[in-house]
């Protein structure tokens, strides 16, 4: 099993991400929003990376890539960071279909949790999964997330409105356990 790491995204990652996203575009249409053709090009991804790094510089996000054997195989990130009384962020992730089923996604989520708690000092992390995305739900459960509701027709992908399960993990308590 090859090791999985995550690191902050870099401008040079745009070409690799464009290749992965372009390759999996049809396979992931059910799970991802519709994007213009430019999004799947190296220039399009360079613009996305620039925007993500600007959000990071403002303290609003931690955008990362998933790496195995020195190769970018996906993305993981914490976005929509709110400070003040909330101290929370939103977890998102994906791994190329070429690298699924090998534990990379689960290890990336575990590493992102460490960054959220140790580096970003967040109290809470949230995530969404489509109702049918059982693999992603299993990963979140394995890492101490609990579901707390369903939003009907919450996300538009592949020509239809999709229901989503909302997930939470309290970071300042082990495994997201609630008191009592």
| Per-residue model confidence as pLDDT tens digits over 136-160 | 999 999 999 999 999 999 988 888 8
**Cα–chain center distance at 111:** 12
pLDDT tens per residue, range 22-80:
998 888 877 888 888 899 899 999 999 999 999 999 999 999 999 999 999 999 999 99
Task: Tell which residue, 171, 4, 3, has the closest CA to residue 91.
Answer: 171
In this prediction, residue 175 carries a pLDDT of 53
Boundaries of domain holding 99: 4-176
Which pair of tokens denotes residue 12? Answer: 């040079």
Q: How many domains does the chain have?
A: 1
What tokens were used for 161?
């409105």
Closest CA to 63 of 27, 82, 89: 89
Q: What is the mean pLDDT of the chain?
A: 92
What's the pLDDT at 176? 47
Question: CATH code at 164?
Answer: 3.40.630.30
The 8-class DSSP code of residue 64 comes to: E
> What's the pTM?
0.91
> pLDDT tens digit string along 95-146?
998 898 899 999 999 999 999 999 999 999 999 999 999 999 999 999 999 9
Alpha carbons 118 and 171: distance in angstroms, whole number: 10
Say what the pLDDT of residue 174 is. Answer: 57
Q: Using CB atoms within 10 A of its CB, is residue 126 exposed (0-12), middle (13-18) or buried (19+)?
A: middle
Under DSSP, the state recorded for 139 is H
Residues 6 or more apart in contact with residue 29 via CB below 8 angstroms:
157, 158
pLDDT at site 34 = 84
Q: Residue 33 and residue 73: Cα distance in Å, rounded?
A: 20
Q: Is 50 exceeded by the pLDDT of residue 179?
A: no
């Amino acid at each position: 099993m090859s090791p999985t790491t995550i690191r902050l995204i870099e401008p040079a990652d745009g070409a690799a991400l464009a290749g992965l996203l372009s390759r999996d575009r049809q396979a992931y249409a059910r799970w991802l929003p519709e994007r213009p053709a430019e999004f799947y090009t190296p220039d399009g991804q360079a613009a996305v990376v620039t925007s993500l790094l600007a959000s990071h510089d403002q303290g609003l996000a931690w955008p990362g890539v998933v790496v195995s054997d020195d190769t970018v195989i996906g993305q993981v990130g914490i976005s929509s960071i709110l400070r003040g009384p909330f101290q929370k962020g939103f977890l998102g992730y994906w791994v190329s279909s070429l690298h699924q089923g090998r534990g990379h996604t689960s290890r990336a989520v575990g590493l992102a949790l460490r960054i959220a708690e140790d580096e970003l000092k967040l109290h809470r992390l949230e995530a969404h999964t489509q109702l049918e995305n059982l693999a992603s739900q299993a990963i979140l459960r394995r890492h101490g997330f609990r579901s707390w509701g369903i939003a009907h027709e919450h996300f538009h992908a592949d020509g239809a409105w999709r229901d989503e399960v909302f997930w939470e993990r309290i970071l300042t308590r082990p495994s997201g356990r609630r008191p009592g």
